Amino acid sequence: MRDSRTPQLVLLLIVAGLICRESFVDAVAGAEPASRPNVLFLLSDDQRPDTIAALGNQHIETPNLDMLARRGVAFTRAVCANPICTPSRAEILSGCSSFENGVLDFGRKINPELKLWPQAMRDAGYSSWYVGKWHNDGKPVQRGFVGTRGLFTGGGGKWWKDQADWKGFPVTGYRGWIFQDDEGHKFPERGVGLTPDISANFADAAIDVIQQERKQPFFLQVCFTAPHDPLFFPNDYEKKYSADTIPLPSNFLSEHPFDHGNFDGRDEKLLPWPRTPQIVRKNLAVYYAVISHMDEQIGRIIDSLRETKQLDNTIIIFSSDHGLAVGSHGLRGKQSMYEHTINVPLIVAGPSIPSGERRSAQVYLRDLYPTTCELTGIKIPKTVRAKSFAKAIADAEAKTHPHVFCYFRDKQRMVRDSRWKLIHYPAIDRWQLFDLDTDPHELKNLADDLKHAKVMERLHAVLRSEQKKVSDPVLAS
């Protein structure tokens, strides 16, 4: 029997435990499209999971993300399955793993037979908009979005002039990236490559969309470039953090002990070898400043929802495409299976969401697609292989995946359950086993400890099983 109450009231009742989850799904599915909640998806770039004050970092200021955490649910074990920009974003858009959507690395096209997240939202009556960094094939308007504001992507090479980052190193990221519109008209006067205050430009664009979308619910994806390199201090943020007072990561090393598959990659060249405590602290100072500046812009976006009386009817999701090392394990970049990189910050807040709670359920970024469909009463497309974690939002005891399976090129494979993590480096046939309960910073490799042989055997079997499911060409031996 369908419930005639509004979706918002039904969602609040579900949190209070007054109706069952099945009634909730039926009620929202029966709602008219115009009465469904808006969805605002905020995605940062290269943000470690431990960079939000409300979630435990006492050395960074993120008042607006803190507010979201107080209003919603934070998932502390959310993962990016493939820790590089383009593949991670393709998983988010498609609701499929990299093996299934065809984007295991840069330069690959998303399988055109897949129905993408913005397409599903648009077909259900949502006005789907895109703001910010676009790092996949085609254009947003060719992938289900009705339009863009503040679109930032490649194509400005003829205006590019060499730049140096905060420490004087030559810029290697976002070279020639430029603001442009859906017809390809470019705006070099707004800057070419990253600029110190680029997050404000994305916020301006998002606010434009929010102010104009009043007749139908919107799905708005806002992709910041922060805190990806090149790093620059935003205006008035130069003295925000003192390198002398920022602690080093607990797993700081001067150099990674072996070639993990991206030892001398572009990201790793952004800091000198060996990594020193001083240079890592300085890097963290500007990294934190860029995050705090982005947080300020997120606050402006949320204020626009409040001013247009749409905040109470908007589901807000915040996450990042992957984390970053910044000195942890002797690394600077992403492209690793360690917690500081494979884990991502993830907060979900809104009319259907409990307030100020945390969840330890393991979820993938690609699960956001079916989860949002379920929360808004949209039928999940058949091409989606990811799993909704809507139940875990409402129920602290609910689990979504007994383990997660992650990968990087043909260099790294990983499985993680509720306690243990097994990493395999196929190119050098090296293994790592970590007990995350007793060693959350992954400092003690137990792979050769005979006391844990049964754990190794069990996780090895799980890894092989996951690889076989996706026809992984580097199947663990």
pLDDT interval class at 31 (50, 70, 90): low
Residue 25's pLDDT band, with cuts at 50, 70 and 90, is: very low
Q: What are the residue ranges of CATH 3.40.720.10 in the chain? A: 32-401
Q: What is the mean pLDDT of residues 424-442?
A: 97
- Span 183-231, pLDDT tens digits: 999 999 999 999 999 999 999 999 999 999 777 999 999 999 999 999 9
pLDDT in tens, 143-161: 999 999 999 999 999 999 9
CA distance 266 to 162: 17
Q: What is residue 352's predicted lDDT score, i.e. its pLDDT?
A: 82
Per CATH, the number for 410-477 is 3.30.1120.10
DSSP letter (8 states) at residue 109: P
pLDDT of residue 32: 62
Model pLDDT, residue 232: 97
pTM: 0.93
Per-residue pLDDT at 34: 66
Predicted confidence at residue 101, as pLDDT, reads 98
Kindly tell me if the per-residue pLDDT of 437 is higher than 90: yes
Please check the confidence at residue 456 and state whether its pLDDT lies above 70: yes
CATH fold of 32-401 reads: Alkaline Phosphatase, subunit A (3.40.720)
Structure confidence by residue, pLDDT tens digits, 99-121: 999 999 999 999 999 999 999 99
Residues of the chain with CATH 3.30.1120.10: 410-477
Q: How far is CA 100 from CA 260, 367, 382, 416, in A?
A: 25, 14, 13, 20
Is it the case that residue 24 has pLDDT exceeding 50?
no
Residue 2, pLDDT > 60, answer: no
Q: Which residue would you say has higher pLDDT here, 31 or 194? A: 194
Q: Over the chain, what is the mean pLDDT?
A: 93
Instruction: Please say whether the beta carbons of 78 and 88 come within 8 A.
Output: no
Which of 21-25, 52-56, 110-114, 165-169 has the weakest average pLDDT?
21-25
- CA distances to 160, 180, 187, 325, 475 from 171, in Å: 11, 21, 20, 19, 37
